[in-house]
């Protein structure tokens, strides 16, 4: 088993949602429960940007050069400096439920999942925010909505509802972005951890963070296990994303949620490993 390198000291209580910002050659991630976006540039400099509430995801916004940010219940537009925010879609979830991880589809819509704070079974959903701000529900009855990626042709979505212990594949209508035909693609077996965030490479391989498993697994396009990457010192591995100008560095976020002060002192750090295959470029919001 290969091992990822720890790049930073702990920089997040619950690090999630890594996104490679190619325009400024930096990695963005969310410190979800602390309500902050954290950036790390190529020199290793760390900056924190406060968000109006708990924060679930951040992606580039094509129309303005700024960003789209999912907070506890809303989807907001942010300026290029991540200092000013305005609503795109509000009130996506009710009390006791929060947004949790998302990304964009090839049509430029932003998809964001949710979960109940107590992880109540079927307490969440997956919603799609179109570039014009229209909101539709893609999936209902979700428990902990996590990883989401799309094939390079845009016809297939790969999706994780963590308690199912699998990565699903779904057919995507190329004209409307509607989902159909959800079925199992990879069963996550032989690990104490469950599937969390997803990355996809240019060959269609999937890379999945194992929350509670201290590792990232790489599966080929057919769903066969290729390799497992250890994340030393952090069992709660939350998500991964390809970055750097050649998209051949896999960045890995970790969490220390629920850990005591003396447990896993490296948890909450950012890790990385160089890969033989490049990642697919991250998709922006078209609005």
Give dist(CA 266, CA 231) in Å, integer. Answer: 10
Assess contact for 252 and 11: CB atoms under 8 A. no
The answer to whether the Cα torsion of 117, 123, 126, 127 is positive or negative is negative
Which active-site residues does the annotation give? 196
84 exposure class (CB count in 10 Å sphere: 0-12, 13-18, 19+): exposed
Query: Token pair for residue 24?
Result: 């400024």
DSSP secondary structure, 67-94, as one string: EEEEESS-EEEE-TTS--EEEEE---S-
Give dist(CA 155, CA 171) in Å, integer. Answer: 6
Assess contact for 198 and 158: CB atoms under 8 A. yes
């Amino acid at each position: 088993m290969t091992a990822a390198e720890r790049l930073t000291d702990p920089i997040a209580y619950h690090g999630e949602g890594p996104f490679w910002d190619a325009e400024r050659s930096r990695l963005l991630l969310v410190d979800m429960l602390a309500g902050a976006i954290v950036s790390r540039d190529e020199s290793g400099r760390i900056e924190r940007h406060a968000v109006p509430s708990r924060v679930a995801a951040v992606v580039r916004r094509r129309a303005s050069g700024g960003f789209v940010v999912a907070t506890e219940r809303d989807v907001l537009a942010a300026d290029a400096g991540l200092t000013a925010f305005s609503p795109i879609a509000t009130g996506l979830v009710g009390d006791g439920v929060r947004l949790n991880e998302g990304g964009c589809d090839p049509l430029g819509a932003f998809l964001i999942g949710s979960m109940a704070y107590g992880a109540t079974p079927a307490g969440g959903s997956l919603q799609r925010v179109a570039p014009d701000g229209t909101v539709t529900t893609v999936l209902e009855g979700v428990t902990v909505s996590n990883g989401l990626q799309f094939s390079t042709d845009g016809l297939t979505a790969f999706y994780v509802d963590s308690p199912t212990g699998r990565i699903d594949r779904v057919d995507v209508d190329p004209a409307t972005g509607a989902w159909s035909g959800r079925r199992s693609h990879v069963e996550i077996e032989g690990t104490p951890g469950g599937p969390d965030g997803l990355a996809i490479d240019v060959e269609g391989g999937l890379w999945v963070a194992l929350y509670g498993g201290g590792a990232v697994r790489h599966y080929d396009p057919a769903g066969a296990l290729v390799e497992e990457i250890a994340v030393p010192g952090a069992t709660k591995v939350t998500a991964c994303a390809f970055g750097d100008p050649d998209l051949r560095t896999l960045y890995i976020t970790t969490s220390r949620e629920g850990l005591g002060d003396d447990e896993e002192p490296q948890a909450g750090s950012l890790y990385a490993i160089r890969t033989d295959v490049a990642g697919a470029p991250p998709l922006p919001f078209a609005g």
